Structure 1
Amino acid sequence: MNTPKVKKGILLVNLGTPDSPATPDVRKYLREFLMDKRVIDIPFISRWMLVNLIIAPFRAPKSAKTYQELWEDRGSPLMFYGTDVQAALQQSLGEDYVVALGMRYQNPSIQVALEELRKNDVGEILVIPLFPQYASATTGSVADKVMEIVKDWQVIPTIKFVEQFLEEELFIATIKERALPLMEQTDYDHFLFSYHGVPERQIHKASNGGYCKLNDKCCATYNKKNKYCYRAQCYQTSRLIAAALGIPEEKYTVAFQSRLGKDPWIQPYADELLKQLPAMGHKKVLAFSPSFIADCLETTIEVGDEFKEEFMEAGGEQWDLVESLNNHPLWVECLKQIVLKNQSDLVNA
């Protein structure tokens, strides 16, 4: 009698998106997102008042209008590209795997995705947070949520987490493939790598023995001590992309976007730096968003539209944005290689 094979579960997790660009849905999304203690890491009461009495009520209508600009016939790009990648990875891995997609905030939830894997009786689960660089507010939050859910299961399978994938060759190769057509058409005089920012205090909290706080050259190299320093990871990502595309160090800049509140966030700030570029003789700029794997508000709208407008007003001549990985076949292959590299020796009887 043949024993059925034990399947392996793959859980892909991205940040999330509102169910629609309508203000109530955007407000609901913002509340869940910003109430995460790893996103706004202040005491609960202060966080609740800030989010529910100030940010969500006043920001939701404005954000809803922006989401309407982003929304396509298929819906939110972050969502439909995620679905595309899930289906493509499932097909590539074959019937020995079950690939589920979950969002840290809103739908489909991580709980729904985990239940799908449990119904398929998987023997182990590999969780891949779709964030190239580790940060407490992203990858850390995903791990936190997954463990919160499975702790109540009677049978908990082996669970492994992919912490980061910024150094994966095919991750860098996909970005290169996206950038090359633009670089072949235009002789850019500067390149900007813009990453989502985080508060400085979160960098210091994650610092190994105070390394990031005490060493002002922390980000100049990437090593065991600053492996989880988000800023150092961003600089390392930029170095790898620049090397792949033959961009010399003096022709690119690393900056950080999307800061919130008055506390200091990691610098330099992208929105301030880009206004200085034309005066420095950088009139044609190609921008990258390597902390995002799918088009979203922060890439298409913020970097692609808003930054471009500010750059042109400052005297720039051309501003282009490299498309996100989205559903590129190389990106799907990258995920497949991550799965194969991280799978255990689960034996099928």
Structure 2
Amino acid sequence: MGKKGVLLVNLGTPDSPEVSDVRRYLDEFLMDERVIDINAFNRTLLVKGIIVPFRSPKTSKLYKEIWDENGSPLLYYSKIQAALVQEQLGPDYHVELAMRYQSPSIETALANMKAGLVESIQVIPLFPQYASASTGSVIQKVMEIIGKWQTIPPISFVNSFHDNEVMIDTFADNARKFQPETYDQILFSFHGLPERQLKKCDHSGNHCLKTENCCAALTDVNKFCYSAQCHDTARLIAERLNIPEDRYSVCFQSRLGKEPWVQPYTTDTLKALAARGKKRLLVFCPAFVADCLETLYEVTVEYGEEFKALGGEEVQLVPSLNDSPKWISGLVKMVTDQHSSVYTSPDI
């Protein structure tokens, strides 16, 4: 029997923090039709004519703030995760790491699996909550590549793991080191999306953003909604830490452009909390399984400075899952559970 293939896919990172590499990364990322979901002509004008030329130098400076001797933190921790998963799964598995944008590419990873004669491929996009712009984009890209193969092996995808118990436990463990009960408020800050992308995921056509709290509880109607899954992740982590509802807030960061994105925005939440006299905030970013620009700079530096300017005293980031042994065991279990349910003979 051949090996079982496992493809772990994260978002991506520039090859270096230099402007040219950042420009190349942003161009590939933002030209994705699922990321900026407007017609191709307008997307090209917007991305290549406005966003990339103006944002690349600014974003380059931000990447230089978090780049260290190990390079990009996102790529560094992703490589460790893949290596440790391979180690624990053993020789019956072939584990590859890929980035949706830039290196290592999905094309290269799948080619390596093909050359390794894997008997099946399991794809795990490393995004806990499903979004068309992240998980959906990975699935589409993989299917486009493998769809051109003459022989297509059995293939499966992990759609989301927003309620994965090991992930929840690991974030809770990371937070306990900071004594959450000593903070004035707990923030769960997730990566933002345009509201139009949420509406597109509402297959009923009559639920999304129709009421103020449409994402507060996960139901059959909104089970694929990114925002609803984010709220569910926050609720589960809060419950694990015995944090009451009035002591935590769910918000969304990284807004791009002027049109409405998922709300409340993290910046607005900071202003509201400062106005209420809150001084110390503990912040989770459970949309990421590895620390990156959005956690290490946007939260720690930008929001930290913003909150202090508003009269606050401290914004403390809860580290992401990174190389936590517990999280690695959770990834391994995700692989073996799905392989057993998808590929095991019913007679066993």
> What is aligned with 2:93?
97
> What is aligned with 1:199?
194
Contact 1:6 1:121 in 2 (8 A): yes
Q: What code does the residue aligned with 1:91 have?
A: E
5+ residue gaps, structure 2: none
| Residue number among 303, 320, 343 corresponding to 1:345 in the alignment | 343
Q: Deviations over 1:237-275 (max 9, x none)?
A: 100000011110000100000011111101001012212
5+ residue gaps, structure 1: none
Q: What code does the residue aligned with 1:133 have?
A: Q
> What is aligned with 2:81?
85
Name the TM-score, length of structure 1 as normaliser: 0.96
- Residue 110 of structure 2 is aligned to residue 114 of structure 1: yes
* Sequence identity percentage: 53
Matched residue SS, 1:274: helix
- Residue 294 of structure 2 is aligned to residue 298 of structure 1: yes
Matched residue SS, 1:208: coil
Q: CA deviation at 1:24?
A: 0.3
| Residue number among 206, 221, 227 corresponding to 1:231 in the alignment | 227
| Residue number among 209, 215, 228 corresponding to 1:219 in the alignment | 215
Q: CA deviation at 1:72?
A: 1.1
> What is aligned with 2:168?
172
Q: Deviations over 1:97-137 (max 9, x none)?
A: 01000000000000001111111111111100000000000
Contact 1:27 1:56 in 2 (8 A): yes
> What is aligned with 1:318?
314
User: Considering only aligned residues, what root-mean-square deviation do their CA atoms show, in Å?
Assistant: 1.1
Contact 1:13 1:129 in 2 (8 A): yes
> What is aligned with 2:148?
152
> Which region of structure 1 is more displaced relative to structure 2, 290-299 or 128-137?
290-299
Matched residue SS, 1:60: helix
Determine the C-alpha separation between the residues in 2 that align with 1:159 and 1:253. Answer: 38
Determine the C-alpha separation between the residues in 1 that align with 2:5 and 2:105. Answer: 16
Contact 1:207 1:213 in 2 (8 A): no
Determine the C-alpha separation between the residues in 2 that align with 1:48 and 1:307. Answer: 31
> What is aligned with 1:135?
131
Matches within 5 A, 1:36-75: 36-75=32-71
> What is aligned with 1:190?
185
Q: What code does the residue aligned with 2:73 have?
A: P
Determine the C-alpha separation between the residues in 2 that align with 1:194 and 1:284. Answer: 15
Matched residue SS, 1:182: coil
- Residue 36 of structure 2 is aligned to residue 31 of structure 1: no
- Residue 304 of structure 2 is aligned to residue 308 of structure 1: yes
Determine the C-alpha separation between the residues in 1 that align with 2:212 and 2:258. Answer: 23
> Which region of structure 1 is more displaced relative to structure 2, 334-343 or 24-33?
334-343
| Residue number among 247, 252, 255 corresponding to 1:256 in the alignment | 252
Q: What code does the residue aligned with 2:185 have?
A: H
- Residue 330 of structure 2 is aligned to residue 334 of structure 1: yes
Contact 1:276 1:314 in 2 (8 A): no
Matched residue SS, 1:209: coil
Determine the C-alpha separation between the residues in 2 that align with 1:125 and 1:215. Answer: 40
Q: CA deviation at 1:216?
A: 3.7
Matched residue SS, 1:293: coil
Q: What code does the residue aligned with 2:21 have?
A: D
Q: CA deviation at 1:281?
A: 2.3
Q: CA deviation at 1:215?
A: 4.3
Matched residue SS, 1:320: strand
Q: CA deviation at 1:6?
A: 1.8
> Which region of structure 1 is more displaced relative to structure 2, 173-182 or 217-226?
217-226
Determine the C-alpha separation between the residues in 2 that align with 1:309 and 1:183. Answer: 22
Matched residue SS, 1:214: coil
Q: CA deviation at 1:214?
A: 3.3
